Structure 1
């Protein structure tokens, strides 16, 4: 007599599910550590960009950092005005653009006087710069469409304000994979500190 194969037995099913659960238990901490690594890397990239921006702002006519959220993640770039070279404007937009985090990472920010963090949305950007004379942070810049107009650099050089009513960013919060890093921006000194959240 031939035996017909009618599928898995209960014992075989229990063994397969046990193996699957065991493998899943091994993989989940690994995935969390990968996502946690991305959070740390993004926080370090923002800190490095702040350092570079401070140097550029003190050495150039204008030096700014732009943290922007796009569909595929978060990017940092720089806006630098090196003054006139051979009679021509030497302005660089999106200088040294770098992707710092995938879209699964969450970056939010708090402004001075605000209690809740605001998560960055696609198309939103934070434009941060320093006071050239004191090294302190300047208020966040306007994020309107005319921002990229070259006249903005003339306005900055002429001492006109393009800032959004004196609103300062005091925290940038990077989170994902169960980890959070908070970059506290110290307005008066232009310094920052990174803490675990």
Structure 2
């Protein structure tokens, strides 16, 4: 009795490879559009955070935005002076809001034309505005806690925001091949979002 061959024929293999190639061709553009959507959403979240921070910084003692890379993605949190409660300042950190998954790439450029990748857990920048001019202040060295604010106020000091150092001139968000760049005017505090493709 002759044993039957249990392998694939050449025709079956060609059909399988063809179907696989077609499915791959359908999936790649879809994947790029999903990743591009994530970049768009993250850029919009950062822009909204800048708007909120500008309003808070012009009306309060403290209004800072922190953009931070954590294990599972990128988060924005706010440090806001919510006014006095009794005789005490009420500076609170809002609950961090996740704006992008970890596979998104976010970097920022400073006014000395150096690009800083935010790819390690704990990498962060703190942004605020000058109440007098409405422009950006240099990147802040710290976020202000309630205790630190009270200590400075008890000494009769103004809040010593960092006023010397490098400014953030743009924030770059990349998801897949899609790139969104938030260009920031340090003098006016305005920004614009531009789109492009990674090389």
Pairwise CA RMSD: 2.1
Give the match for residue 165 of structure 2. Answer: 166
CA 1:78/1:5 → structure 2, altered by over 3 Å: closer, same or farther? same
- Gap regions ≥5 residues in structure 1: none
Which deviates more from structure 2 when the two are superposed, residues 28-37 or residues 159-168?
A: 159-168
Give the match for residue 88 of structure 1. Answer: 88
TM-score (norm 2): 0.88
CA 1:79/1:153 → structure 2, altered by over 3 Å: closer, same or farther? farther
Question: For 2:105 and 2:12, how far apart are their aligned partners in 1?
Answer: 42
- Gap regions ≥5 residues in structure 2: none
CA contact (8 A) 1:75 1:98 kept: yes
CA contact (8 A) 1:65 1:79 kept: yes
Q: Structure 1, residues 49-76: CA drift from partner, whole Å, max 9, x if none? A: 0000011111111111110000110001
How far the C-alpha of 1:196 sits from its partner, in A, is 1.4
Give the match for residue 181 of structure 2. Answer: 182
What SS does the corresponding residue of 1:150 show, helix, strand or coil? helix
How far the C-alpha of 1:164 sits from its partner, in A, is 7.4
How far the C-alpha of 1:161 sits from its partner, in A, is 3.5
Equivalent residue runs for 1:124-143 within 5 Å: 124-143=123-142
Question: For 1:153 and 1:167, how far apart are their aligned partners in 2?
Answer: 27
How far the C-alpha of 1:158 sits from its partner, in A, is 2.4
Question: For 1:113 and 1:159, how far apart are their aligned partners in 2?
Answer: 29
Q: Structure 1, residues 7-47: CA drift from partner, whole Å, max 9, x if none? A: 21111011001100100100000000000000010000000
How far the C-alpha of 1:48 sits from its partner, in A, is 0.4
CA contact (8 A) 1:62 1:153 kept: no
What SS does the corresponding residue of 2:19 show, helix, strand or coil? helix
Aligned residues, how many?
193
CA contact (8 A) 1:81 1:153 kept: no
CA 1:147/1:91 → structure 2, altered by over 3 Å: closer, same or farther? closer
How far the C-alpha of 1:165 sits from its partner, in A, is 3.6
How far the C-alpha of 1:166 sits from its partner, in A, is 2.0
Give the match for residue 147 of structure 2. Answer: 150
Question: For 2:193 and 2:150, how far apart are their aligned partners in 1?
Answer: 31
Equivalent residue runs for 1:16-165 within 5 Å: 16-93=16-93, 95-114=94-113, 116-120=114-118, 121-143=120-142, 148=145, 150-152=147-149, 154-155=151-152, 158-159=157-158, 161-163=160-162, 165=164
TM-score (norm 1): 0.89
Question: For 2:91 and 2:78, how far apart are their aligned partners in 1?
Answer: 11
Which deviates more from structure 2 when the two are superposed, residues 169-178 or residues 149-158?
A: 149-158
